[in-house]
A and B are shown apart, each in its own frame.
Chain A
Amino acid sequence: MRTYVLRRLAQSALTLLGVSVLVFVILRVLPGDPARMLLPDGAPESAVAELNRQLGLREPFVVQYGLFLGSVARGDFGQSFQYRAPALRVVLERLPATVHLTLAAMLITIAAGVPLGIFTAVRRGTRYDVAGTIVAVLGQSLPNFWLGIMLILLFGVALRWLPTSGFASWTSLVLPAVTLAAFPTALVARLTRSSMLEILNRDYIRTGRAKGLAERSVVFRHALRNAAIPVLTVIGLQIGALLGGAVITESIFAWPGMGKLIVDAIFFRDFPVVQTVLILSATVFVVINLAVDLLYTVIDPRIRYL
């Protein structure tokens, strides 16, 4: 077990290093010039060249990477090209909004998805099942921004029950979290359903029923526990996805989170911010996956990794 953990840690570190190199390379290979993004159209070429030099972009690639690694080790992720403020600070400023949104969306996903999945599994084949499946598919396939803007128009403009955008108070969380949660909720619901269906047909469940255990007990105590594994996997993956991929939702709701930050930074060629966000989110992703893997071994010691 110990060697397994150590091995996974080493692998994680290697992954992170790989990510950092990849980010670095991709950014500098992209066409487009950070200085030209900052200066107006009317700036002379000499100004562009000078600004590029000031931003440290004229050094050889390896030198740049070396300097970067060195400063990261000291906790310095460089200065944002756009905002001329420390990149780490710019990114961390946006972290609370992202965390709140992610947690809220996760809450909705679990609170709505799992019960929906159980419900449709237990009522398999009936019209409840069909209705539930259709709702789930809609959640998986309706475009994010369509849902978001429709919710804004209905609850923000027409009814004025909720704020239309921004992160002012906890009520601001509702619409964006619902929009963001639509896809994962549907996914979790369908996965829970199929997981439950498989378990509910297993022998030991039938035995339990034959022995006279209450249906409720059968469903909750035995089936659910076993169905948890794949659901956990998806939840773990979704957290990673949510952190990095809430771009569209954040754009619609003017949510001051990291998704929009990174897309803007990429379009603006703000290298330090892109690097910082990617390294931070890759770290979170790797840590969560590590945690999920370790959780597996706790839940089911029979699982062995090759």
Chain B
Amino acid sequence: MVPRGTRRHPAMAIGGCLLGLVVVASLFAPALTIYDPLKPSFSQRLVPPWGLGGTSAHLLGTDNLGRDILSRLLYGGRISLALAMSAVAIAALVGVVVGLVASWGGAKSDAVIMRVADVQLAFPVIMLAIAIVAVVGTNPLALVGVLALSGWVLYARTIRAHVLTLKQLDYIEAAATLGASDARVILRHVLPNTVAPILVIGSSQFATMVLLESGLSFLGMGIQAPRASWGLMLAEGRDYLSNAWWLATAPGLMIALVVLGANLLGDGLRDLLDPTLRNLES
């Protein structure tokens, strides 16, 4: 049985499949490759991919330390995907809570929160990243924090706008008049209405998080060597683009695939659940 709507939204199905494929491949990395992604092999440096001068021993070639690229791609996928997913989850959580507080808690808290958001938005993410990493260190938790920090505002603003319109709806006013407590109103009437926007934003933000992680790792703020992450592989391949272009192209294409999948999925979800969200800045 095909999930509702996929027949009318083939793009969403494709996107979902693509994403699912990558996730599954990463999860089953040890079964799919025999090479240790971390162990150097000095005599096997910079071997081209199979078909472009290399052998079938290394389908996507090897990197500057002789490590198999396919293997690093799969294991690295675990890290990159896990980071992106946790960052999206945390950003959504924080953003929704803040958005609710801003829209429900009165004009003063609303003003303060929106000012804070403005100030943060005026800062380039990079500077915030550098600051956080410099103080806290380069562990993955800090990285998730930085990614989440870059994303919460969108949720907050969207939820806030949503709630402000909802607040004026009759049945909400009625519930409040009838004596339902704030919490009850929020939980039973408001939150369910916000699930759709959260899902839509989340899926396209996932793509943004993957890209951001790669950008941060590129600048050295992200995952540390010798672990593999797509961003770090990109960074390590940067100096070899003239003579060993496959080092950076493999993770780049992988990121593109994931972003494509996430975007298609997100578009499809939006079409399915709530077309009024078309005009969100993503």
Contact = CB atoms under 8 A, between A and B. Distances in A.
Contacts of B242: 149, 153
Interface string B259-282: 110010001000000010011111
Interface in A6-22: 11, 14-15, 18-19, 22
Contacts, number: 125
B249 interface: yes
Contacts of A88: none
Nearest to B259: A141
Nearest to A197: B278
B16 to A, nearest CB: 15
A266 B252 contact: no
B126 A263 contact: yes
A15 B263 contact: no
B252 A134 contact: no
Given A137-B259, A140-B259, A153-B241, A285 B131 contact: no
A286 B122 contact: yes
B249 to A, nearest CB: 7
B241 A150 contact: yes
B123 interface: yes
B34 interface: no
Contacts of B60: none
Given A15-B115, A143-B248, A146-B249, A137 B256 contact: yes
A199 to B, nearest CB: 10
A63 interface: no
Interface stretch (A78-86, A96-104, A240-248): A240-248
B34 to A, nearest CB: 28
A265 B282 CA distance: 30
Nearest to A150: B241
A143 B234 CA distance: 8
Contact of B122 (A19, A29, A274): A19
Nearest to B211: A141
B111 to A, nearest CB: 8
Contacts of A146: 234, 241, 248-249, 252
Contacts of A247: 126, 219
Contacts of B252: 142-143, 146
B164 interface: yes
Taking each of B118, B124, B215, B281, which has the highest tally of chain A beta carbons within 10 Å of its own beta carbon? Answer: B124
Contacts of A187: 282
Interface in B104-118: 115-116, 118
B281 A233 contact: yes
Nearest to B282: A187
Nearest to A25: B131
A143 B241 contact: no
B248 A18 contact: no
Taking each of A30, A146, A191, which has the highest tally of chain B beta carbons within 10 Å of its own beta carbon? Answer: A146
A251 to B, nearest CB: 9
B100 to A, nearest CB: 15
Interface of B: 11, 115-116, 118-119, 121-127, 130-131, 134-135, 164, 207, 211, 214-215, 218-219, 234, 238, 241-242, 245, 248-249, 252, 255-256, 258-260, 263, 267, 275, 278-282
